[in-house]
Chains A and B, each alone.
Chain A
Amino acid sequence: MEHIVIIGNGISGITAARHIRKLSNKRITVISSESDFFFSRTALMYVYMGHMKFEHIQPYENWFWKKNNINLVRGFVSHVDVKNKQLTIDKIHKINYDKLIIATGSKPNKFGWLGQDLDGVTGMYHKQDLENLEKHSNRCESAVIVGGGLIGIELAEMLLSRGKKVTFLVREDSFWNGVLPKEESEMINRHIREHHINLRLATNLKEILPDENGQVKAIVTDKDETIPCQVVGLTAGVTPNVEFLKNSGIELGRGVKVNRYLETSIKDVYALGDCAEQLEPVGDRRPIEAVWYTGRMMGETVAQTICGKPTQYKPGHWFNSAKFLDIEYQTYGWVWAQPKENEDQYYWEHADGKKCVRLVYDKKSREFLGINIFGIRMRHAFFDKALTEQWTVDRVISSLKDANFDPEFFKSYESAIQRVFLANA
């Protein structure tokens, strides 16, 4: 029986394993050095915040894996020998594979800051980061977070929930404005401050200072300010976690290079999820997509290929979502921070400053290209259809009521949005 070995038990690796199991009775082994069982990485924050226990963020009960004959191995793959199709785990155990799936995800970026490895400095990516944060939590009164992205604001929310004073260093002059247009970004700036987070825009980290025990004592910014703190969160993006493949012969760029079939340069070796780097990116997508659902979709795709139905990774229209403290965010299609040449935009913001909608469309054809939604829930299926069928922005606006996904009795804003749109048209 063919032996499929998957390195990494995150959403990509586990989705691949589950779908291969659905389609075949191949032997499946999943190796992880991080945890015994699959858990939702995006939910780690809620464990620290006390919304859930760790067991709650495991989507399957522990008996699930044995019942579905998916063999779980805890260990660190230290070497991949593609010639003999053999892995070395924890430098001792050897394990052979027929097909190998690399799904090792990412690791937090560190840019060589002075003091970046001190006791009390942490990323927020792995289960071990959570444990590390918990370890320093009692000692921590103040924390500094470095890096204004999605993980940064989540870490801020986490620390805030435990009553820590949080200072948030953001390199850009407005939060996440490489992705968010000005108004949205400023809305989140305001919301961050409303939560008593000390937001420092256009500020970089220069150095982390230790106390006499080698623990974090303070940080120094590039403006030579010293901010006392006991915990430093480094959340300046992530990089594919592929160092262990350096001498394997598998072609690497920033991540593992893969073609549309998610095949690497070596036969019978595939790569998925955060650690995969597309040789030719799909549409406007980035070559490396560190997003939950793309990992899931790659898992579904590779399972088809491995089970005899070669299938290309073809993600549909871009979408994503996040939550910035109390403000929910959804996006469908492409909305760039700076509009492109051919694009026009239409922006509506509620008077409370916590809800807004931005629609992007083509100037000439008026084709709907994308939407940002803050503080209102809308239907994925609606926008997926509108994008596939290339609706005009006018049609999207006029049928916006069908898109609403807010709970019953919620005030609806479609008519307000429509009114302002018509006034501007």
Chain B
Amino acid sequence: MKSTEHKSLSIANPNPPIDSIQKIALALGFLGLFILLLSLFNVDLPNKPIFLALSILSVFIGIFLYARQMYLNQPEGIKNNGVWLKGFTNRGSWAWVLGVVLTAFYVVLYWYPEYLGLGKGKPNTGVIVLFDPLSYFLKNQAASEWFVYGVLYTLAIVGFGFKFIFKYRHNKYQIVRTISVMFFQLGFAFLLPEMLLRFNQPFNDFKNMWPLNYYFFDEWHLKELLNHGSFGLFMLIFGLAMIFIISPILTYFYGKRWYCSWVCGCGGLAETAGDSFRHLSNKKVSAWKFERWMIHGVLVFSMIMTIAVIFTFLSKNPKLSIITRDQFVWGISIFLSVVIALLVFYKKSQFDKDTRYTIFSLGVIIVGAILINHFSGSKNILFFQSYKLREWYAFFIGAAFSGVVGVGFYPLLGNRVWCRFGCPMAAILGLQQRLFSRFRITTNGGQCISCGNCSTYCEMGIDVRSYAQKGENIVRASCVGCGVCSAVCPRGVLKLENKSTIGRINSDAVLLGNDVDLLTLIKAQKQ
């Protein structure tokens, strides 16, 4: 007998503990964070530009190197080994710690920025003043807490974007999509708006659309745009065109993914930094029911808030306005009524729960608008002041939901809680995607083995499998088109497609594989 132990020893351990380059990467990353922490505690760092650059670069290189070492040393493919076995990605103690830290950060950022060093009249200190060099370089102004946040946010998307690309390097859809979110964050959300400030133009993130951008129709914002001459007017018109022309056309052709998983900043963070938590979304039917109530509720809230804000603006600034408040309210009501009429006319053959919820929500908005018009004085709308409504919206939806819960709870509830339950933009795009779009996820005949990878890794909590195992296309308002269900499918069953709207919703589909008579029989019985 000869022993072959030496042979098995020659085989490299496929899952070694982290290697020395990864150790260096970790050290660098945490060194960068440590510098931020020092400045937070008001350690007076000499030569701030160097320390700031050191901090940002260390964090970026740390993330980049670590991910590169981790993924490029393995063959291409799906890398979900151990996701549910590690505490960090399965709501363990480290996940909890991270959740608390992120939540605390958002609470401080939104409501106690002085703890970050915001001077509020006095000179800034702390971590904010550390960012002054970069801020002066970009826009020739002192940094604010929002500048710090913007830099860190962009750093997260770009750094973890590279991680995502290494992880999915076998999947070109994922690579292109990730480059897109990295580009829009770095260029459109960060550099361009900061540069605009340098040239004394209003801060404007061209891709940030109302109603996600809930201040778009605020009095101060409209005035700012209107006071900046032709460029300001261009921004106003471009913003309106995004809402009413560009977005509906793109959503018709590509589904809401063109925004939610290709362009949007919230989506960008979720897809990159939040990728490690995508499987934590709740897939229960009860969560879906809750989602429908929430999303329509937020939609109605954001619409009525906006109508009230514009109404007040028109009341107070008749000279700046092209239309009167009466014309505005009746215009909105007629516009929405036409939308309802079109829905009833074109979709009466497929009146499902989604459509009914939508029509009901639109009806509530119309009633709300008319009530505002009827019961409001010049300052009060519906017995309270419009800026109060706006304040509540900013507090509950803009800050508490999108930031604190939306990002702070990534490690506990998944990376798309905000997008799924709270984003009014996603709601509107979703309604259109469900009803007027060419986008769907096609299933491949009878190949589904009901394994559940698609549902598990759906960040929006869609039970993809429940469609795939019936041979049904997936046409859901919430789908952001990230394409991960298709990527993780071990049998090649799912494909994101933009095709003719005919036969797009095939809820009477039956699985391919049986002989034709049984297929026809089952189809007939279903109807």
Which residues of A line the B interface, CB within 8 A?
11, 22-23, 40, 42-43, 46, 49-53, 56-59, 61, 142, 160-163, 165, 167, 194-198, 220, 224-228, 292-293, 296-297, 300-301, 304, 309, 311, 314-316, 319, 321-323, 325-326, 328, 330, 377-381, 384, 388, 405-411
Report yes or no: B14 in contact with A195, Cβ–Cβ below 8 A: yes
**A405 vs B13: C-alpha distance when bound (angstroms):** 35
**A408 vs B486: C-alpha distance when bound (angstroms):** 11
Report A57 CB to chain B, min CB distance, Å. 5
Closest 5 A/B residue pairs (Cβ)? A380-B445, A326-B77, A43-B451, A377-B492, A163-B15
Report yes or no: B4 in contact with A226, Cβ–Cβ below 8 A: yes
**A59 vs B3: C-alpha distance when bound (angstroms):** 46
Chain A, Cβ-Cβ closest to B3: A226
Which residues on A sit within 8 Å (CB–CB) of B465? 59
Chain A, Cβ-Cβ closest to B465: A59
Report B5 CB to chain A, min CB distance, Å. 6
Partner pick for A220 among B1, B447, B449, CB 8 A cutoff: B1
Q: Does B69 contact A (CB under 8 A)?
A: no
Which residues on A sit within 8 Å (CB–CB) of B193? none
**A57 vs B456: C-alpha distance when bound (angstroms):** 9
Report 28 cross-chain contacts, Cβ distance below 8 Å, ordered by A residue.
Answer: A40-B451, A40-B452, A43-B453, A50-B81, A50-B86, A51-B456, A52-B452, A53-B84, A59-B469, A160-B14, A163-B13, A165-B11, A224-B1, A226-B1, A292-B450, A293-B513, A296-B513, A300-B518, A301-B518, A315-B513, A315-B514, A319-B445, A319-B446, A319-B513, A321-B492, A380-B446, A380-B512, A409-B172
Report A225 CB to chain B, min CB distance, Å. 5
Chain A, Cβ-Cβ closest to B483: A407
**A411 vs B16: C-alpha distance when bound (angstroms):** 33
**A309 vs B521: C-alpha distance when bound (angstroms):** 10
Which residues on A sit within 8 Å (CB–CB) of B514? 297, 300-301, 314-316
State the main secondary structure of chain B at its contact with A: loop
**A325 vs B77: C-alpha distance when bound (angstroms):** 8
Report yes or no: B513 in contact with A316, Cβ–Cβ below 8 A: yes
Chain A, Cβ-Cβ closest to B514: A297
Interface residues on B, range: 35 or more
Q: Does B316 contact A (CB under 8 A)?
A: no
State the main secondary structure of chain A at its contact with B: mixed
Report A213 CB to chain B, min CB distance, Å. 21
Q: Does B342 contact A (CB under 8 A)?
A: no
Report yes or no: B7 in contact with A198, Cβ–Cβ below 8 A: yes
Report yes or no: B13 in contact with A316, Cβ–Cβ below 8 A: no
Which residues on B sit within 8 Å (CB–CB) of A52? 84, 451-453, 456
**B83-110 with Cβ < 8 A to chain A:** 83-86
Known: A162-B15, A328-B492. A384 touches B80 (CB 8 A): no
Known: A40-B449, A377-B495. A196 touches B11 (CB 8 A): yes
Q: Does B491 contact A (CB under 8 A)?
A: yes
Report yes or no: B451 in contact with A46, Cβ–Cβ below 8 A: yes
**B493-524 with Cβ < 8 A to chain A:** 495-497, 511-518, 521-522
Report yes or no: A377 in contact with B444, Cβ–Cβ below 8 A: yes
Q: Does B230 contact A (CB under 8 A)?
A: no
Report yes or no: B466 in contact with A42, Cβ–Cβ below 8 A: no
Q: Does B285 contact A (CB under 8 A)?
A: yes
Report A35 CB to chain B, min CB distance, Å. 14
Provide the B368-412 mask, 1 if CB < 8 A to any CB of A, else 0.
000000000000000000000000000000000000000000000
Additional A-B contact list (7), CB under 8 Å, known A58-B452, A319-B447: A43-B449, A43-B452, A162-B81, A220-B1, A226-B3, A292-B449, A319-B513
